[in-house]
Amino acid sequence: MKIAVVDTNVVVAGLGSRQAESPPRRVLDAMLVGHVRYAVSAALLAEYREVLLRPKLRQFLGLSPVQVEVVVRRLAQGAALRSPIRAAADAPDPGDQFLLDLALDLPQAVLVTGDKLLFALQDLGIQVLSPAEFAATLGNEPPQS
């Protein structure tokens, strides 16, 4: 069974979506209610937190720092926490190295991202899907245990 590595841009887009059926929102909702298996690392959780705490983004999303922390904790609670080692390969953007490391740490991983640069990771054998492509795979599956 595949396990998702969900990029920060998908989480942000999901939180910002006013439409319940938008792909990023469907991905985020599936994560929060346990309908999808996903993994995080300390670095990915730190990026979720850091990005969501940006003042302009918090204002746009209507989130207080406490609400941001609640979101990050809920995402951490539902995830498989991994501590990947630095991959021998380099990410197209050095700021995304932690995503590559995490995806390579999980042989059955699928990276869910809206970042077109990260689609180049398919050359390393990583399955990369857009939020729309991944949301289409969700169906109405029962929560994972």
Query: What is the average pLDDT across 9-34?
Result: 94
Domains and CATH numbers, the chain: 3-138 (3.40.50.1010)
Q: Specify the higher pLDDT residue, 18 or 129.
A: 129
Question: What local confidence, expressed as pLDDT, does residue 145 receive?
Answer: 38
- Across all residues in the chain, what is the average pLDDT? 92
Type of residue numbered 97: Q
Record the pTM: 0.91
Q: What is the pLDDT of residues 48-101, one digit of tens each?
A: 999 999 999 999 999 999 999 999 999 999 999 999 998 888 999 999 999 999
pLDDT band at 140 (very low <50, low <70, confident <90, very high): low
